[in-house]
Amino acid sequence: MEPFEFSFMLWEFDFNLLAIDKSLLESNPKLLRDAVKSFFADSFRKMDGEATIEADSDLIRVRWVPAAPNDTKELVDLAVALLKQGAFKQAKPILESLSNRFPEDVTVHFNYGMMLSDQGLFEEAIRHLLTAVTLSPGHADAWNALGVAYLRIGKEGEAIRALERSHGLQPDNPYTLRNLGGLLAKDNPPKGLPYLEKAAKLLPKDQQALYGYGLCLAKVNRTDEADEVFRRTVEISPYTQVAELCRKERTLIGAQNLRAVPGQLRMDAVMYCLSAMEIFDREGPEARQRITFEIALLGRSGLDINDATPKYSLSSLEGTFSGLQLVSFMYVGFQQMDPATDTGIDLSKEYEAARSLFARG
Amino acid sequence: MTSIADLDRVMEMVKQKTGYPVSVTPSSSIQTHAAMRSATRDMPVHIVLVNPKYEKFSNYLVTAQCAMLLIKWADSERIPDFSVSDQRKASIEVDLMKKMSHKGIPEAAQRQFVSQLVSGLLLQLASVPMELLVLDWCHRKCHGLREEQELEVHANLRELSANLDPKIREMVPGEIYEHSVAMNAAFVLRWSHLTGNLQILLPYRALGFLQKGEQLIKLLEAISAGALDIYPRVVDAWAKELGMNGWYSWIYRKG
């Protein structure tokens, strides 16, 4: 079989694919050539066929003879693996070359189109994705990718039609459900909600899918369910930006629930604030700092302020406490140490009431 | 096991071993991937800071910081803290200044530069042996985190290899430069041994730094992996090899 060949300029290589500093590679051309050759040698070693990699001063040439004739799968897989690592410049010559050589290959057009869409080259992306759905009208993923590309250039009508086509072909495609649900929920949350709910069920480890579902639940005032979804989203990977956004949403929901009757004092919080004032007065400023900071740090994992059960414990203070109790202690601590601190919850009225009770002794 | 399951398990191990929980906070103000402050009686929580820039491997970053705590707190009656007195550091700097050619650089600027170099080298001596121990520990015990570990280590290796730039080599006195790169080479070698990745050795091989790195690895391997004081012992062994013994001292505290 005729070998498959592609080449690219050495300076176009995506340095993120190597665990070597970019400036060092740029200052040492031999090292750069060796490292790039080594990268492709490693990549092709895993594939079934024979590869030759040549490098001269500016150019890298890769020549590959697959073990089975016209077998594009392994090469497409390599391009997809490169795309996943963000190495568009390396994936592009492979996909470009494949699409020229195999113009009837739907997988090639689909992956090439997705890559171009991610790169912001929407017209070209839509052209390849349209080719993919023409070659294979039942390709739900290609319709989904086409919908996303339309959405990115603001053609919402075409986007909805493409996504609905994908959904019609594959009602359980979680990515279509997520994209279609998100798009519909923008103007009409109740309409988008069932799609987002199903997407979240099908993608239980996808933070974006769960976060989108949680936001939509909050928009339709199903805040208890939204809170639970945000809690699960944080659990998936607690230290991402999405997790941070979920924590903020949970704080907002907690604060809303606390004020079920606007303007009315929460007497339980007043008593907790008073108790904190007594403890801090008795134990002194160092203990106050320890307790306050420990609660603040514990609170990062989420304190359930709407459950009165004493279920939290501290190293710095004996006993078990409810979420609202700890938040009240923390509020008093920060009010006494640094009133400008944003604790994420407003207990100012309860704090003032407790202060006047405390002053009366 | 998933990466989050590994993370939860290791955080729980820290709580069991040290008696203090771990609290994690994203912080854009740190320069490194992650940072950690060990709990004390005044601050009864271990605080781990994670740079949000590296969130795609944040579970590994937190786990690695927890592994550091477990290694440091192996004997909670003797937790080692690496310490350098201002006086000792100043005398090291004076010795180094004598060895450097001045080439018309103002003395104050040169003194500041030397101070930064000495601080950097001491920080490396305190941290690279720990990073190697953590590398092994996580690779052995946290299979669910392998993918994140590889991403983090590669980002780290990329940053470390920047020190091989010839411009840096020209600026830094030979002795300091060689010690610093030798420790980095040991880190790269260890990862290469664990994963079979030979590509990462290329720059160190090309510039002739692998031998010294291998020597440091041998010193680490000579100490029993189960030793409670493995961390200070590796640091001491490396310091002796690099002619840095006496540059620091250990302060031991109770947990």
Distance in angstroms (rounded) separating the CA atoms of residues A358 and A356: 5
CB pairs under 8 A between A and B: 100
Judged by CB atoms closer than 8 Å, whether chains meet at A297 and B45 is answered as yes
What's the average model confidence in pLDDT over A75-96?
A: 84
| Per-residue pLDDT, A238 | 82
Residue numbers in A near B200 (CB within 8 A): 19-20
User: Is there a single domain that holds both residue A249 and residue A296?
Assistant: no
- Give residue A256's pLDDT: 78
Across the interface, whether the CB atoms of B44 and A28 are under 8 A apart is answered no
Q: Does A248 touch chain B (CB under 8 A)?
A: no
The number of domains in chain B is 1
- Closest chain A residue by Cα to residue B192: A19
- Domain match, A279 and A342 both: yes
- pTM reported for the whole predicted model: 0.74
Q: Which whole number is the average pLDDT over A52-71?
A: 82
Residue B102's pLDDT band (cuts 50, 70, 90): low
Quote ipTM for the complex.
Answer: 0.80
Lowest mean pLDDT among A70-79, A288-297, B128-137: A70-79
Highest mean pLDDT among A189-198, B29-38, B91-100, B112-121 belongs to A189-198
3-state secondary structure at position B24: strand
Q: Is pLDDT at A46 greater than 80 in this prediction?
A: no
Residues A286 and A354 in one domain: yes
**Does residue B143 have a pLDDT over 90?**
yes
Q: What does B188-230 look like in DSSP terms, one character per residue?
A: HHHHHHHH---GGGHHHHHTT-HHHHHHHHHHHHTS-TT-TTH
Q: Do A228 and A271 belong to one domain? A: no
Residue B232 has pLDDT above 90, yes or no: yes
Contacts of A21 in chain B (CB under 8 A): 158-159, 161-162, 164-165
Residue A103 has pLDDT above 80, yes or no: yes
Do the chains contact at A19 and B44, CB–CB below 8 Å?
Answer: no
Q: What is the mean pLDDT of residues B170-185?
A: 92
Domain endpoint, select from A205, A223, A258: A258
Whether the per-residue pLDDT at B27 is higher than 90: the answer is: no
Residue numbers of the domain that contains A296: 267-360
Give mean pLDDT, residues B130-140.
96
Tell me, yes or no, whether A303 and A222 share the same domain.
Answer: no
Would you state the pLDDT for residue B217?
A: 97
The alpha carbon of residue B22 is apart from the nearest alpha carbon of chain A, in Å, by: 9
- Determine the pLDDT at residue A1: 61
Is residue A37 assigned to a domain? no
The residue type found at B57 is F
Pairing of strands B34-37, A4-9: unpaired
**A interface test, pick of B18, B28, B164, B199 with most A CB neighbours within 10 Å:** B199
pLDDT of residue A259: 67
Q: Stretch A49-61: mean pLDDT, rounded?
A: 85
A312 shares its domain with A341: yes
Residue finishing a domain among A211, A234, A258: A258
CA distances to A105, A106, A113, A139, A147 from A126, rounded to whole Å, are 16, 14, 7, 15, 9
Strands A59-66 and A4-9 come out as antiparallel
Domain shared by A243 and A271, yes or no:
no
Task: Assess whether pLDDT exceeds 70 at residue B104.
Answer: no
Sorting pLDDT into bands at 50, 70 and 90, what band is B179? Answer: very high
pLDDT at A178 over 70: yes
Q: Number of structural domains, chain A?
A: 2
Sequence letter at residue A260: A
Answer yes or no: are the C-beta atoms of B2 and B8 closer than 8 Å: no
The share of chain A scoring above pLDDT 70, in percent, equals 97
B127: pLDDT strictly greater than 70: yes
B161/A19 CB distance under 8 A: yes
Q: Is the pLDDT of residue A300 over 80?
A: no
Let me know if residue A210 belongs to a domain.
yes
Chain A residues inside the 8 Å CB shell of B45: 293-294, 297-298, 315
| pLDDT in the model for residue A250 | 86
Q: Please identify which residue in the block is written with the tokens 């919908």.
A: A147
Residue to mutate among A14, A24, A34, A291, with most B CBs inside 10 A, is A24
Yes or no, beta carbons of A21 and B162 under 8 Å apart = yes
A352 and A324 belong to one structural domain: yes
Residue B40's domain spans which residues?
Answer: 3-253
Which tens digits make up the pLDDT trace of B36-93? 989 887 778 898 999 888 888 999 999 999 999 999 999 999 999 999 988 989 999 9
**Does A322 fall in a domain?**
yes
Q: What CATH number is associated with residue A230?
A: 1.25.40.10
Residues A187, A251, single domain; the answer is yes
Looking at the fold, whether A318 and A341 belong to one and the same domain comes out as yes
DSSP designation for A171: T
Average model confidence (pLDDT) for chain A?
89
**DSSP-H helix ranges across chain A:** 22-27, 29-45, 73-84, 88-101, 106-118, 122-135, 140-152, 156-169, 174-187, 189-202, 207-219, 223-236, 241-258, 267-283, 285-299, 323-337, 348-360
- Is the domain of A241 the same as that of A283? no
Contacts of B227 (CB under 8 A, 6+ apart): B233
Least confidently predicted of A48-57, A280-289, B111-120 = A48-57
Q: At what angle do helices A207-219 and A189-202 cross, to 10 degrees?
A: 150
Residues A195 and A217 in one domain: yes
Q: Which of A258, A284, A304 is the last residue of a domain?
A: A258
Q: Looking at the domain assignment, is residue A235 inside a domain?
A: yes
Identify the CA nearest to B137 among candidates B149, B147, B125, B119. B149
| Among the partner residues B23, B61, B157, nearest to A297 by beta-carbon distance | B23
**Binning pLDDT at 50, 70 and 90, where does residue B1 land?**
low
pLDDT digits (tens, 9 = 90+) for A186-206: 999 999 999 999 999 999 989
What is the model's pLDDT at position A123?
Answer: 94
Work out the angle at residue A329's Cα, subtended by the Cα atoms of residues A328 and A330, and round it to the nearest 5 degrees: 90
